[in-house]
Amino acid sequence: MLKHLLRGTALSLVASAALAAAPDAALQAALQKVAEQAKPGTLGVLVMDPATGQSVSVNAHRPYLMMSVFKAPIATAVLSQVDAGTLRLDRKVHLVPADIVGGSAVPSTGAALKSGAKDFTVDELLHAAVTQSDNTAVDALLRVLGGTATATRFLESKGVHGMRIDMGEGDLGRMFEAKGSDAVLASHVNSSTPEAAATFLRKLQAGELLSAGSTQKLLALMTAQVIPNRVRAGLPAGYQLADKTGTSGTEDGHRAAFNDIGIITAPDGSKRIVVLFLVHSPASSDQATAWFAEIGKLTAASMSR
């Protein structure tokens, strides 16, 4: 009798665990609907519960141009060297006006250089690159790091496969100017699959990429980033988002990339990872922002069910 009770209890627990971990069919359908609205652009979406590893996704099995999303992985690679003791946050980096790279969300470092050469600490460059999406700062960090290959090797070594960093913001901007958006997208430079971006975020929040102190530091920088819309705009009061956005310019009425990846934390402490990559879209920034906000709202609602 006891044997049958124990077996029944075990089967019940397995069934309950499977039910709890099952993908959210309602969320999947809602995400598909938003992706349909985004056509003729392609909207790649992935929402993951990091506690179970279960995810729902749309158009997720292909690479997307990251744009400034890549600043968070680069910052992670820099902080890994700080953790290893081979780099210090207070190390001074000398920059001159020729190092200015345009196109930043907030040109903090670049603006400071317009009056002449200046020294910045690695810590200041991290803050500018992640929180203010400053292009000059991230290209300086890549030089300190040892180049883009170092960043990609770090990600691969940590099990983040499908995310590649080939060039800095300056070189990418020149590639856009010389070859155009279609050629950039076809080359898959500076690209990530949604699965790779989700893996990066899951490993980051779990403390698998950095020390506890560096993990906390980077997540705080991502939480403080200066673009308050996109996914963040759809979250109810009490929800937090640690994210990194990325945006390209437009060419012939189409935007090559409009992105947001991040970790949503509900008031009860539960989390969801959300990855959004919109490519080759004729939509206005306001329309794309509305789609991203809707996905933020849908994700938050799924967390309360």
Q: For residue range 40-61, list pLDDT tens digits in order.
A: 999 999 999 999 999 999 999 8
Task: Report how far residue 281's alpha carbon sits from residue 144's, in angstroms, rounded to the nearest whole number.
Answer: 35
Domains of the chain (ranges plus CATH)? Answer: 25-303 (3.40.710.10)
Model pLDDT for residues 58-100, shown as the tens digit of each residue = 999 899 999 999 999 999 999 999 999 999 999 999 999 999 9
Model pLDDT for residues 137-179, shown as the tens digit of each residue = 999 999 999 999 999 999 999 999 999 999 999 999 999 999 9
At position 113, the amino acid (one-letter code) is L
Contact present, 203 and 195 (Cβ < 8 Å)? no
- To 5 degrees, how large is the angle CA 172–CA 175–CA 178? 155
pLDDT reported for residue 258 = 98
- When pLDDT is cut at 50, 70 and 90, the band that residue 22 belongs to is low
* Tokens describing residue 223: 């939480």
Q: Look at residue 181 and tell me whether its pLDDT is greater than 80.
A: yes
- When pLDDT is cut at 50, 70 and 90, the band that residue 6 belongs to is very low
Q: How many C-beta neighbours within 10 Å does residue 24 have?
A: 20
β-pairing verdict for 55-58 and 42-48: antiparallel
The 3-state DSSP class for residue 275 equals strand
Closest among 154, 160, 233, 232 to 201, alpha carbons compared: 160
**Cis peptide before 97, with omega less than 30 degrees from 0?**
no
Q: Look at residue 116 and tell me whether its pLDDT is greater than 70.
A: yes
pLDDT reported for residue 137 = 98
Task: Report how far residue 276's alpha carbon sits from residue 295's, in angstroms, rounded to the nearest whole number.
Answer: 9
Contact present, 44 and 59 (Cβ < 8 Å)? yes
Mean pLDDT rounded to a whole number for the chain:
93
Instruction: Kindly state the percentage of the chain with pLDDT values over 90.
Output: 90
- To 5 degrees, how large is the angle CA 114–CA 115–CA 118? 90
pLDDT reported for residue 304 = 85
Q: Look at residue 281 and tell me whether its pLDDT is greater than 80.
A: yes
